[in-house]
Structure 1
C-alpha cells in the first residue's frame, strides 16, 4: 500500500528540492555583507563565535568541533553556519519592526534554533512518528504471538508477518534520520535521510505487490522482489556516491509512490477486505495532507511551518494504518485456522 509514509517520504523529497543559493534572503546584499564580515571578524553584531577563530589547519588548536566534549559538539555549529544564522536573525528582526515579510535563506525559511536543532517542530513530530510506528509494531507483535492462535504453537498463521516486521524497522529508521536531518542539515544527514526514505518507498512497493496479489510462495516473492531491490540499491548508490540529482530522485520516488497508491486503491475495492475503509482513509487523508506542502508559509514564531504541520498529520494516520495491519492479520489468521480444521 501507499501508506502515509510512502506519501510522507515523497513529500520530504519535494521539500528539499531547492537551490541552496538562490533564495531571496541570501541574495540580499546586506545579508551577504554581514556574513562576509562575520567570517572575517568572528562576530555578527554583538555576538562573537569562538569557532570562527580556529581554522581546520591550525595544528595548535585543531578544528573547532574537536575542542568540545562529544555531548556538546552536537549543539555547536561551524563559523559559517553561525554567521549565516545570526545575520539572518538580525535582518529578520529589523524587517519585522518595519512590517516586512519573512523570506527564505539558502532554500529554507528563517527557523529559530532550540537546543541546537535547526527545525525543532519537524524534529519533534518526526520523533512522535517514530514512536507511533514503534507502538504500532509492538501492538502487532503482541496480537500475533499472545492474542491469536499459533500454528503448531510456535508460528503465526499470518503469512506476511516477517514483511511487516521489516516494514516497521525501515519506517522507524526513516523517521529517525528525518529527525536527525531536521536537527542538522549537512551533507551526511541529507544523504542518510534521502537514502532511508528511498529504501522505505522501495520496500513499501514490494510489500504492496506481495500483499495485494497474495504472493505466499517464497520463490515467487524473491523473483518479484529481486529486480526492485536491485533498482532501489542502485539508485541509493547513485545519489550517495555519484550525483545527488534532485530531479531524478523526485521522479523515482513519485513513480514508486504513485504505483503503490494505484495498487492499494484498486486492491481495496477488488478484495472487499473487511477493513478496507481504514486503507482508503489513510490514502485519502494522506492525499489531503499533501496540500500542506503546496501551501508553503513562513514558520509561525520561527517554529511551526507547513512541513512541520504535515509531519504532525501523519501521526494519527500511523495509528490507523497499523490498525489496518492488525485487522489484516486477524482476518488472514481466521481464514488460516478454518482451513487447518
Structure 2
C-alpha cells in the first residue's frame, strides 16, 4: 500500500544532497577519477577498455568513467579504513560491491521479490474475485501501478542513472496517490461515484504537476521528500480511520490495520543507516526484504473486502 511512504517519512531526518557526499568530495577521490579517465578513457586506451569490458556491462550502460568512479571509490574507502575513519558515502550512497552489472545487489533482489509478491497476489486476486465486484477494477489498477513501481525500483537499484532515479521516485509517488484513490473509492466513491471521479482527476493533476516540476524546473530532493510524506500521511490516516470505524462490522479490516502498523514499525529500519554488511546488505535492503509479506497481507485484505462487497451487492439485488 504505502511501503514507500513509510520509508520517505523517516528519511526526512537523514536525507542529504545526493550530488555531494563526504567520499566524492575527497581530493584523493577526485584526483583518482581524473587520472583514471586521462589514462583509460580516451583514444587507444578507451578502445582497449571496451574490448575487455564484458558485454553485459556495456549493455547495462557502464562506461569507462563509471568504472573509474567505482574503482576510485574503493581506493578512497580503503584509505579511510586504514586511518580508522568511518566509511564515507559517495554521491549520496554507501559503497556497494557490484555483482555483475548490478549496482546494489541486495536492494535490487529485494525489489524484484517485492514485485514478484505483488504479481503473485495480483494473480490470486484476479482468480478469486469476480470482475463484477464493485472494487475489482480499482484494485486491479492499484496492483499494476504497484507492480510498475517495483519494476522501476529493481531497475534503479540495478543501475542508478538520472532516468532510473526519476522513474523510481515518480512511480513511488504514483503508488501512494493511487492508494489514496483506492481508499477514496472504498470509503466514498462506491456511494458517490462522481466524487471519486473528481478526486481521481485532482490526483492525476497533482501527479502531473509534481513530475513536471521535478523534470523540467528543478529536481529538488527535499521537495520530493516532503511531498511524498504529506500525501503518505493522508493515505495512512485515511485508511486507519476507516478501519477503526468499521472494525466491528468488517473483521477483515484488521489486516489493513496490521499493514499500516507494520509499515510504521518496519520503516524504523531506515533509521539504522549503516555501511552495508559485506558491502552488500544495508538498512534499506533489509527494509525492502521486510516489506515482502506486507504485500500478502494487504492483498488478502483487498481480496476479502472485494468478496464482501460482492456478496453485499448481490444481496441488495435479490432484495430489489
TM-score, normalised with respect to structure 1: 0.84
Q: Does 1:247 align with 2:219?
A: no
| Map of 2:32 onto structure 1 | 34
Partner of 1:53: 42
Residue 214 of structure 1 deviates from its aligned partner by 4.9
Question: Which of residues 284, 289, 301 in structure 1 aligns to 2:266?
Answer: 289
Task: Tell me if the contact between 1:167 and 1:204 (Cα under 8 Å) persists in the aligned partners.
Answer: yes
* Alpha-carbon distance change, 9 to 208 in structure 1, aligned in 2, over 3 angstroms: farther
Distance 1:174 1:71, change over 3 A: same
1:317 aligns with 2:294: yes
Distance in structure 2 (CA, Å) of the matches to 1:205 and 1:233: 16
Aligned to 2:201: 226
The answer to whether the 8 A contact 1:123-1:183 is kept is yes
Could you tell me how far apart the structure 2 residues matched to 1:6 and 1:160 are?
23
Task: Tell me how far apart the structure 2 counterparts of residues 54 and 160 of structure 1 sit (CA, whole Å).
Answer: 61
Q: Distance in 2 between matches of 1:210 and 1:6?
A: 21
Secondary structure (helix, strand or coil) at the match of 1:238 reads: helix
2:90 paired with 1:92: no
Q: What is the alpha-carbon distance in structure 1 between the residues aligned to residue 272 and residue 32 of structure 2? A: 31
Counting matched residue pairs gives 314
Asked whether the 8 Å contact 1:238–1:244 carries over to 2, the reply is yes
Q: Does 1:114 align with 2:120?
A: no
Q: Following the alignment from structure 1 to structure 2, what is the Cα–Cα distance between the partners of residues 298 and 22?
A: 17
Between the aligned partners of 1:285 and 1:239, the Cα distance in structure 2 is 30
Cα deviation for residue 188 of structure 1 reads 1.0
Contact 2:36 2:68 in 1 (8 A): yes
Whole-Å Cα distance in 2 between the matches of residues 230 and 113 of structure 1? 39
**CA RMSD of superposed structures (Å):** 2.7
Q: Counterparts of 2:201 and 2:39 in 1: how far apart (Å)? A: 56
TM-superposition CA deviations, 1:244-285 (whole Å, max 9, x none): 111221221111100011111110011222112111111111
CA contact (8 A) 2:189 2:195 kept: no
* Counterparts in 2 of 1:99 and 1:245: CA distance versus 1, 3 Å: closer
Q: How many Å apart are 1:217 and its aligned residue?
A: 4.4
Residues in 2 aligned to 1:279 and 1:249: alpha-carbon distance in whole angstroms:
26
Q: 1:6 to 1:307 in 2, by over 3 A?
A: closer
Corresponding position: 1:24 with 2:9: no
Given that residues 153 and 168 in structure 2 are in contact (C-alpha distance below 8 angstroms), is that contact kept between their aligned partners in structure 1?
A: yes
Within the candidate set 198, 202, 205, 2:180 is matched to: 205
Q: Which secondary structure state, in structure 2, belongs to the residue aligned with residue 25 of structure 1?
A: helix
Residue of 245, 252, 276 corresponding to 1:270: 245
1:79 aligns with 2:64: yes
Unaligned runs of at least 5 residues, structure 1: 43-51, 146-154
Tell me the distance in 1 between the aligned counterparts of 2:65 and 2:9.
28
- Structure with higher helix content: 2
The alignment's TM-score, normalised by the length of structure 2, stands at 0.89
Say whether residues 1:259 and 2:248 are aligned partners: no
Q: CA deviation at 1:227?
A: 1.6
Shift of 1:134: 0.5
**C-alpha spacing 1:262/1:21, structure 2 compared with 1 (3 Å):** closer
